[in-house]
Amino acid sequence: MIIPKNLEELAGYVEQGKNVFFFTADWCGDCRFIKPAMPEIEADFPEYQFIEVDRDEYIDVASEWNIFGIPSFVVIQDGKELGRLVNKERKTKEEIETFLRSL
């Protein structure tokens, strides 16, 4: 999981590559629920880079991308959005993997 150090680094991942943006926050119970499964999900989808985006640290990005519930996932390839799993529901490993396979 890549954790960008600043907005410029985050923007670079938006513009280049095939990336899954995982919006999360330390205080989010549903985020803590899915976080232990993320290494397995990453291993199952080696064609993607996984970018962890702290919703509180990048609140302007979350707002611009209409991320109003976390955990949420947005997949972007070379600046083009391929899909999103964005809602306020708790997500399971199976739901996330089904979403990624559907793209």
Active-site residue, selected from the candidate residues 14, 20, 28, 67:
28
CA distances from 52 to 16, 61 (A): 16, 13
Active-site residue, selected from the candidate residues 14, 20, 25, 31:
31
Find the helix or strand (DSSP H, E) in which 20 lies. strand 18-24
- Annotated active-site residue 87? The verdict is no
Give CA–CA dist 60/29, Å, rounded. 22
Question: Is there a contact between 19 and 75 (Cβ–Cβ < 8 Å)?
Answer: yes
Query: Collapsing DSSP states into helix, strand and coil, what is residue 49?
Result: strand
- Annotated active-site residue 92? The verdict is no
Which residues are known to be catalytic?
Answer: 28, 31
